[in-house]
Amino acid sequence: MDKNKKILLIGGGKMGSALLRGWLKSGLLTNQFCVQEPNPAAAITAMGVDVVPQAGPDFSPDIVVLAIKPQMAALVIPDVAATLPEECLLISLMAGTSIATLRDLAGAKHHFIRTMPNTPAALGRGISALVSEAEVPDDLRDAAEWLMQAVGDTVWLSREDQINAVTAISGSGPAYVFHMAEALAGSGEALGLEPAIAKQLAYQTVSGAGAMLDGAVAGPDVDAGQLRHDVTSPGGTTEAALGILAGETGLGDLMRRTTSAAFQRALDLAGPEGEKN
């Protein structure tokens, strides 16, 4: 597969910037990219790629990545699509925006794949779920997979509606982990530790424990439950703590309610039509 593809990134916000940083870190070249962003942050202009308020016909992309808010789709996509060569691949990161909606906005002459990455893509440690219509040619599916594998792992979904669950688990998931790290550090302070020490202990614990879950490090059979069991001594401090977390209104219940809220918001963004896909 040709790895010198031209990529037009629409949107230079947090997710778009994270992906671009990861792509460049993986070895893709700055001249392969053009970023359409009317209000670019200093972080994205410092990456050395062309950043323009409106992409013109002089940049003919092989792939367009739509990293804009769903509320901007109707405003941005028709103008972008009008300048694209036929059968261009459009990869959408937008939660709640179905392939049918993308086709209505961009026209049937293009191909569409939806993906839901997450911000660890900036470090090449993300995970992206992808889904496409059956009509998308294999070479374009391969191109989308290649692009997202440059910033982490990938999985393909069997149905488009599953991407709402992905949004709730891995798309928003880093924020849950960061909030847990904040809470753990705050608990350390409440127990009498200096703020800086509590923060260091909490952050490194979360980072190190996360690394132990990495299949590339621990092997494909790594299991969070087994790791938890390994660190829990009968009658010890960890067992006492897990008794709270595993309670009826503990972490399991909280996480179900948390992910349900994210899932419902994805459905709300999709609207009645999106829920049918």
Half-sphere exposure of 238 (CA within 13 A, CB side): 8
Average pLDDT over residues 82-107: 94
* Arithmetic mean of pLDDT over the chain: 93
Half-sphere exposure of 40 (CA within 13 A, CB side): 21
Overall average pLDDT of the 105-110 stretch = 92
- Write down all domains in the chain, each with its CATH number in brackets: 7-159 (3.40.50.720), 173-264 (1.10.3730.10)
Handedness of CA 225, 231, 234, 235 (dihedral sign): negative
Average pLDDT over residues 69-75: 93
The pTM score is: 0.90
Chain segment 234-274, per-residue pLDDT in tens: 999 999 999 999 998 999 999 999 999 999 999 998 876 55
CA dist 106 and 113 (Å) reads: 13
Q: What's the confidence (pLDDT) of residue 250?
A: 95
The model's pLDDT over 154-179, given as tens digits with 9 standing for 90+, comes to 999 999 999 999 999 999 999 999 99
Distance between CA atoms of 45 and 37, rounded to whole angstroms? 10
- pLDDT at residue 223 is higher than 60: yes
Here the tokens at position 54 are 């409106």
What pLDDT is recorded for position 242? 97
Pairing status of strand 63-66 against strand 89-92: parallel
Task: Report the percentage of the chain scoring pLDDT > 90.
Answer: 83
Strand 111-116, strand 50-52: pairing: unpaired
